[in-house]
Structure 1
């Protein structure tokens, strides 16, 4: 197909010459047949139409210069290879575009070709740079604002960069994206070859066991790359190490016991893993291009929070995320951490007050006694003087606050990136939850297993002895706000497939069912898995 572009027919070249000879009128209104055709076919009121008006209706694609030829070839090549990025082909058939170019017989035809190529380019550029889907259309927890360039910016970009190099700059240039692309190619080949072979019956297998199921587990782990081939029927030291390595790469407790949870992940098909990689690529396209030299990355699917400096993870801790029910799932978005509060009060969210605490107060005015009830002026309310049964969720007039203490719901420190979702990172007195494999228990905020150490790492940029500073403030017992001299970008993401620090692919369970929804949306948009060999 690309050779068609390189060996253009004389008719098309003649038409290109006519287009390149067109000269805009001084007031930038269309003056030639080509310019009038471009104005006619450009979508009315669109960014495309605006671009051509400001560009004097000059051709981007169909001129007869070497630069135009390079752009045409690069565009057709890019559109033909869009599936390599896990993108839908979109509304534009490459073959249809090529046919339309070859069949151009008039300057007006050429104007139509120019606009069709532009429309295909803009859709491709937006999809590759910012994702093919709009997050908010998929799940109400996907509140991320995706940076989408206007059409005119993409068009100005492609004409200002020589040799078609603008196409090379569209995809995310991150290590994650490039490594996921390699994993995608490997999995596509594997899927076409039939996957990882026979699955393992779901049962418990552990060190010392023998028998056919152990052999099946061994064979499966050999196919997955965790073991060297062997016919041993025993669950020996080598198999134990392989199971533990697999568990570590899949967010499972690395106890070496192949129980139901582990075997369920072992038995996941190559197609399932490939879907996760397709979704991860789309999610990577949604993230800001500039993440911040120092930033905080919370992967909800991994139940982890990390501080990243110049691309390297310099601190990592376990995290608890929102419970998997509709109004508690942690949302996904990016913001900037501005300060931390040491010895924080917990100002109870209105939703918790009305849904959880008001019914208890109506049954017993002394319920939840560790929480202060305050009026609009912040004065504490005498519970005994209030008839709580007269209030509903709509007209309850009071606020509720838990003063600083070790038993405070926020623990002893919270980390603030003010946002309309009232989400932040914080300590918690419920330390036992961090030992769980699946850690979805909060009302939506992110709880940290090592909040003090997290604070030291943040303060290290501005305090000579961050630990001593932190504990001096903590020992005061007073609620104290500590500003960060440099705000730190925070990215709350959800990634069930990602590349680990040693280049290994890691997979996590889709605890919120969000990735399934994204995959379904990608399929509807035209993304398809490769065919399996018969």
Structure 2
């Protein structure tokens, strides 16, 4: 998004350029050149990438020269820094007026050398933040197992040195369609907030078609303000109001019944300000996922608060299914991270995680050695242990459930080996997929249509994926099937996300992670913009 320099900014630029020109007057001589280069060399000594860049250009200026090329770079940088709030970044961190003041104050060649490095550092910090996020995810929540992937400083510096600076700045933010749509929604919600939001909350209770009264009028006004209902003076819960509620329910992942009850009214009564916060958090999360690999080709995304798993080819949706995720209890919440799926196992055995053995099964075995009889107890040599001896405080064994119709992993699991022991799998407890809120597992992700998921993955490497899968399924034994090309997997957490067509979608913050991220963004200086009324 391009923003023109304001008149005040243009005046600052002219004043700064005039000051910079003083430092290269004909009377300066070699001493000023040496002072400039010495100042640059001293300033970059602690950053090897920046130091190497300036060494390669013999410590010549990148920003502070007097010609049109340098003026264009300075203007592009200051204009870009002025857009920080448009991206939901801390505006004070990138205040262009501070740099313009330093430009006006630069009187000597040494001042100009120090300023050149300051502008370079401002550029690199802005590029890192806009491209990879304002926060370190792991410091916000221990279950955010995601590291920010930043662009190489040498690459960023070469780009602004060699290319059109405004074009370079346009490439710094995530280029995904999702990010662009989130920015658009951010501006739309800012306008709503500036106009007072959606008005009074709707009283609690239950309303359905045919209802009348003050609650229906409050619901009507709220739906109109939110854009779900055309302006009307009706005081009766009619079919149009019912249809508006159904659309809202679909946009919030609720059961679609047209009845304004508990969960629906809770969603309706979330303020526009809170929804704007969710969008700002989603933009930060999109920056965390702004990776050079893994999103252009085939990849898998599991959006935890949406309880959905999807396969994409580029930005085209290839397959989706419902999912069950970890319950909202200590140690069971599904973490967020990215990895690569490299194989599936058909007819898998379940090797019980040590934490489940310790916390759930071992207490039962100490009371009754024949408890949980559907599980085998295995020693270090792979032999089944005789349970008649009982089990004391020492339990040097593993536990395994053989393949079968009641196996906890169902009939197939999808592996992207990781240190968190998280994977995708089938399950015999199919009834959970009928629920709107599906957080019940120990942390792994159960799929509603695992066979369809397998067929979609195998379609890349066999002409008959269903036949290939069913043949191995009929054998009944464990069968590992390698994916000829590993598929990136991204476990994400989006309570606000967009659609190519349609309204922005919202979901509950089931683990409270978005609340923690927003609190951190707020502390960092991210403000709720007020838009234009």
TM-score of Structure 1 vs Structure 2, range by shorter chain: over 0.9
Q: From 282, 296, 321, give the equivalent of 1:317.
A: 321
> Is residue 409 of structure 2 the alignment partner of residue 410 of structure 1?
yes
* Distance (Å, rounded) in 1 between the aligned partners of 2:501 and 2:317: 12
The answer as to whether partners of 1:196 and 1:220 remain within 8 angstroms in 2 is yes
> Is residue 9 of structure 2 the alignment partner of residue 2 of structure 1?
yes
**Partner residue, 1:27:** none
**CA distance change for structure 1 residues 51 and 23 in 2, over 3 Å: closer, same or farther?**
farther
SS at match of 2:400: strand
**Partner residue, 2:360:** 356
What are the residue-to-residue correspondences of 1:209-288 with 2, within 5 Å? 209-287=211-289, 288=291
**Alpha-carbon deviations, 1:452-488, whole Å to 9, x = none?**
1111111111222211221111111011011112211
After TM superposition, give the deviation of residue 55 of structure 1 in Å: 3.2
TM-score calculated relative to the size of structure 1: 0.94
The answer as to whether partners of 2:182 and 2:279 remain within 8 angstroms in 1 is yes
* Distance (Å, rounded) in 1 between the aligned partners of 2:531 and 2:486: 49
> Is residue 303 of structure 2 the alignment partner of residue 304 of structure 1?
no
* Distance (Å, rounded) in 2 between the aligned partners of 1:462 and 1:37: 59
* Distance (Å, rounded) in 1 between the aligned partners of 2:70 and 2:430: 63
* Distance (Å, rounded) in 2 between the aligned partners of 1:485 and 1:23: 63
* Distance (Å, rounded) in 1 between the aligned partners of 2:147 and 2:519: 21
* Distance (Å, rounded) in 2 between the aligned partners of 1:140 and 1:369: 36
**Partner residue, 1:487:** 486
After TM superposition, give the deviation of residue 283 of structure 1 in Å: 0.4
What are the residue-to-residue correspondences of 1:428-443 with 2, within 5 Å? 428-443=427-442
* Distance (Å, rounded) in 2 between the aligned partners of 1:23 and 1:514: 58
* Distance (Å, rounded) in 2 between the aligned partners of 1:531 and 1:310: 34
SS at match of 2:490: strand
* Distance (Å, rounded) in 1 between the aligned partners of 2:94 and 2:346: 56
**Alpha-carbon deviations, 1:52-76, whole Å to 9, x = none?**
2333222111012222111100111
Which 5+ residue runs of structure 2 have no aligned equivalent?
A: 1-7
Q: From 21, 35, 57, give the equivalent of 1:14.
A: 21
The answer as to whether partners of 2:24 and 2:109 remain within 8 angstroms in 1 is no
* Distance (Å, rounded) in 2 between the aligned partners of 1:506 and 1:294: 24
SS at match of 2:91: coil
> Is residue 170 of structure 2 the alignment partner of residue 168 of structure 1?
yes
SS at match of 2:440: strand
**CA distance change for structure 1 residues 169 and 250 in 2, over 3 Å: closer, same or farther?**
same
What are the residue-to-residue correspondences of 1:351-430 with 2, within 5 Å? 351-385=355-389, 387-391=390-394, 396-430=395-429
**Alpha-carbon deviations, 1:137-178, whole Å to 9, x = none?**
110111012211243332222212224321111001111000
* Distance (Å, rounded) in 2 between the aligned partners of 1:10 and 1:434: 64
SS at match of 1:32: helix
After TM superposition, give the deviation of residue 2 of structure 1 in Å: 2.3
* Distance (Å, rounded) in 1 between the aligned partners of 2:16 and 2:352: 72
SS at match of 2:392: helix
After TM superposition, give the deviation of residue 47 of structure 1 in Å: 3.5
Range 172-181 or range 147-156, more displaced: 147-156
> Is residue 203 of structure 2 the alignment partner of residue 204 of structure 1?
no
* Distance (Å, rounded) in 2 between the aligned partners of 1:246 and 1:147: 36
Which 5+ residue runs of structure 1 have no aligned equivalent?
A: 25-29
Q: From 40, 48, 51, give the equivalent of 1:49.
A: 51
Q: From 58, 68, 71, give the equivalent of 1:69.
A: 71
**CA distance change for structure 1 residues 364 and 158 in 2, over 3 Å: closer, same or farther?**
same
TM-score calculated relative to the size of structure 2: 0.94
After TM superposition, give the deviation of residue 11 of structure 1 in Å: 4.1
The answer as to whether partners of 2:220 and 2:241 remain within 8 angstroms in 1 is yes
After TM superposition, give the deviation of residue 515 of structure 1 in Å: 0.5
